[in-house]
Amino acid sequence: LEIYLNGLTGTVPDLPMAFDELAERARQAMPPWLWSYVAGGAGDEHTQDANTRAFRRWGLYPRMFVGATQRDLSVDLCGIHLPTPLLMAPVGVIGLCSQDRHGDIATARAAAATGVPMIASTLSQDPLEDVISHTGDTPALFQLYTPTDRDLAASLLHRAEQAGCKAVVVTLDTWITGWRPRDLSTANFPQLRGHCLANYTHDPVFRRIVGPDPSPDQIVAHWAGLFGNPLTWDDLPWLRSLTSLPLIVKGICHPDDARRAADHGVDAIYVSNHGGRQANGGLPALDCLPDIAAATDLPTVFDSGVRSGADIVKALALGADAVAVGRPYAYGLSLGGTAGVVHVLRSLLAEADLLMAVNGYPSLSDLTPQALKECGPWH
Ligand code: FNR
């Protein structure tokens, strides 16, 4: 209504309301190598496409005589009270999407303005302490890419705790980078630009590893040497022991892995295939969600392919307790900084809320698999 009322005086939104248009504008705004990095995925991007298409197989039943005039979208995730079930997925080197390279801080400001938590990536272009200090009253989460140096892992988590993060998300699916033809064609891996490693260079343990006065090349070489070893189940007790914060494991796509993680004492399961950036030829993430949600009693976070409020509602109905977006807010950032991210988040939430109203689902507990019918493919 606010938008329509503004229209009476000739004011229209600064940024597109339709996702495809927003993405096209972001493509035009970014240099081609950056667009390839942000928008691209693994292999021929079959899995990435399938992530978004999977939502179209599901239709929401509209229910009448409900009178859903008041909606409650609030949710409790691992003891963290959230006004809505939406989160910002960790997006590394997101600073590249902003004019001034401080895109992590611009994103943190959007979290403060909307109440939508940011999951701050290890790969931030400002030290995590600076990023988190801009999230206001909105809870922040920290995402860990686990380095082979255990002291460094402990240091990063300690810093996240000290900075006031409310939970830790450990990403499991990216201990090595996937086969990404677009980035290979432009021979571009942004992490290898020294200024993208500011969070590391701020870390006391990383500074000890690189020694005094390292050149930019030495920093990058030391950093690259810290990855390439995957975590195994044997490492999970160690990870668990590193922090008293809720521990969320990201990249789980098989119910057996969810059950095993639950047995190891993690606090939530994060279903994701990294937006199709890591392994092509995989299942659409949405197809993994129902079995995983049913496999444990733990809360389930979901991402990969969410592009609309309708997608959020469908993921919630299929078992997610919270839903995250990656590329959509990165596009918003590239077009309008903090205001662009706020625009994207508010649009997603407004559509989800309106759908719940129109379809007669006043609260998140009404969103069950029975709210959906599988009736596609429509693509
Ligand atoms: C990511 N993602 C990611 N995940 C993570 O755990 N740590 C990270 O640093 C990054 N970095 C990153 C960079 C870029 C440019 C993108 C697009 C994604 C994955 C991200 O958290 C999330 O899983 C996906 O983006 C979700 O899919 P959609 O919403 O982009 O389709």
* CB-CB contact of 106 with 341 (8 Å): yes
10 found inside a domain: no
Choose the residue to mutate in 171, 277, 286, 288 for probing ligand 1, maximizing ligand atoms within 8 Å of C-beta.
277
Which pLDDT value is given to residue 194?
67
Using DSSP's 3-state secondary structure scheme, residue 158 falls into helix
The reply to whether 12 falls in a domain is: no
- On whether residue 282 sits in a domain, the answer given is yes
Cα separation values, 144 from 120, 153, 339, 355, 357, Å: 9, 8, 27, 34, 37
This model's pTM is above 0.90: yes
Angstrom distance (rounded) from CA 109 to CA 204: 26
Residue-wise pLDDT for 111-133, tens only, equals 999 999 999 999 999 999 999 99
* Dihedrals phi, psi of 308, to nearest 5 degrees: -150, 170
In a domain, residue 90? The reply is yes
- Identify the domain containing residue 132 by its residue range: 21-374
User: According to the annotation, is 36 in a ligand binding site?
Assistant: no
Count of domains forming the chain: 1
Q: Is the peptide bond before 290 cis (omega within 30 degrees of 0)?
A: no
Q: At what angle do helices 327-359 and 32-39 cross, to 10 degrees?
A: 50
**134 catalytic residue (yes or no):** no
Instruction: Report CA-CA distances (Å) from 346 to 39, 221, 242, 352.
Output: 21, 40, 35, 10
- The angle, 0 to 180 degrees and rounded to 10, between the axes of the packed helices 103-114 and 327-359 is 20
**Residues 267 and 240 sit within 8 Å (Cβ to Cβ):** no
- 58 and 372 in contact (C-beta within 8 Å)? yes
Q: What region does 224 belong to: left with phi over 0, alpha with psi -120 to 50, or beta? A: alpha
For residues 316 and 367, the answer to whether their CB atoms sit within 8 Å is yes
Task: State residue 378's pLDDT score.
Answer: 59
Length of the chain: 379
What pLDDT is attached to residue 193?
A: 78
The secondary structure element, H or E, covering residue 169 is strand 167-171
Residue 1 lies in a domain: no
The DSSP secondary-structure symbol of 363 reads: B
Residue 227 resides in a domain: yes
Q: Is the ipTM of this complex over 0.90?
A: yes
- Per annotation, catalytic residue among 102, 134, 274, 343: 274
Whole-number Cα distances in Å, 112 to 92, 134, 140, 249: 19, 7, 10, 25
In a domain, 6, yes or no: no
Is residue 252 within 8 Å of residue 261, measured between CB atoms?
yes
Which residue numbers in the chain have pLDDT < 50? 379
**83 known member of a binding site:** no
* CATH number of the domain to which 211 belongs: 3.20.20.70
Q: How far apart are CA 290 and CA 296, in angstroms?
A: 11
**11 assigned to some structural domain:** no
- Residues with CB under 6 Å of ligand 1 are 38, 51, 89-92, 121, 123, 143, 171, 250, 272, 274-275, 277, 303-306, 325-327, 330
Could you tell which of 19, 47, 91 is best to mutate to test the pocket of ligand 1, judged by most ligand atoms within 8 Å of the CB?
Answer: 91
Q: What is the pLDDT of residues 249-308, one digit of tens each?
A: 999 999 999 999 999 999 999 999 999 999 999 999 999 999 999 999 999 999 999 999
Rounded Cα–Cα distance for residues 225 and 229 (Å)? 10
Residue nearest to atom 12 of ligand 1 (CA): 91
- The pLDDT value recorded for residue 43 is 97
